[in-house]
């Protein structure tokens, strides 16, 4: 199984928020997740915008999971190197 760290969309029209999840790369965007790592609120204040468990992200990356481009940018904002 190839896992991918990507965003899962929630919220309403013009008020989106996303969960950072580990999911099978063949699954749909809002499909069944393997593990939830955190969340991303693009509309919130800067300090509340990105929250995730850095240790679990590093474990998944070491085990072969790949991050999407958007998640990679989010992780780089919090100084998590890929």
**pLDDT tens sequence across 22-57:** 999 898 888 899 999 999 998 877 777 898 999 999
Q: What pTM was estimated for this model as a whole?
A: 0.86
For residue 68, the 8-state DSSP code is: -
Domains and CATH numbers, the chain: 3-77 (3.30.1320.10)
Residues 6+ apart with CB under 8 A from 6: 20, 21, 23, 29, 67, 68, 70, 71
Q: Per-residue pLDDT tens for 5-23?
A: 999 999 999 999 999 999 9
């Amino acid at each position: 199984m190839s896992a991918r760290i990507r965003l899962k969309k929630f919220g309403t029209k013009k008020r989106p928020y996303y969960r950072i999840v580990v999911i099978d790369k063949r699954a749909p965007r809002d499909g069944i997740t393997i593990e939830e790592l955190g969340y991303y609120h693009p509309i919130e204040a800067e300090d509340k915008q990105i929250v995730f468990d850095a240790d679990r992200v590093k474990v998944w990356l070491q085990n072969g999971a790949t991050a999407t481009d958007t998640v990679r940018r989010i992780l780089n904002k919090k100084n998590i190197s890929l």
